Amino acid sequence: MVCYHCGKGVLMGRTHTHHRGVAGGRWKKRAPKKQRVFFPNLQVAYIMEKGKEKRVKLCTKCLKRIKKDVRDGKSPFVVLVANEVKNKPALVKTQEVKKEKKKSSKKSKITEK
């Protein structure tokens, strides 16, 4: 489990509970430390790469960076498919309008004859 862009992955570390000292000794109760695993917050995202849709895992930090770059008008390091889909309906609508105009012009030519 590694981020596609930045390579962020699993880290080993320790938990450290901050107990107050216990009167009369008993060291093990004061501040026990246990080994644990820290997992990155990876999310599934669909990106465009070489004109094809690709499923990858990106950490939330990279996703936030991509969304901010899109919002600010900069070119992001990866193009998300979700952003492409938002722009497609406008293109589809204009193409449909053009098709309707062509159909109506063909109908008018037929009625004129």
pLDDT grade, residue 65 (50/70/90)?
Answer: very high
How would you classify the pairing of strands 42-49 and 52-59?
A: antiparallel
Q: Across-strand partners of 58?
A: 43
Phi, psi of 26 (to 5 degrees): 55, 70
Residue 84 CB partners (closer than 8 Å, separation 6+):
48
Q: Across-strand partners of 34?
A: 15
User: pLDDT tens-digit profile of 10-24?
Assistant: 999 998 776 665 566
| pLDDT given for residue 88 in this prediction | 52
User: pLDDT tens-digit profile of 77-101?
Assistant: 999 887 665 555 544 555 566 666 6
pLDDT grade, residue 41 (50/70/90)?
Answer: very high
| pLDDT given for residue 91 in this prediction | 46
What type of residue sits at position 25? Answer: G
This prediction's pTM:
0.59
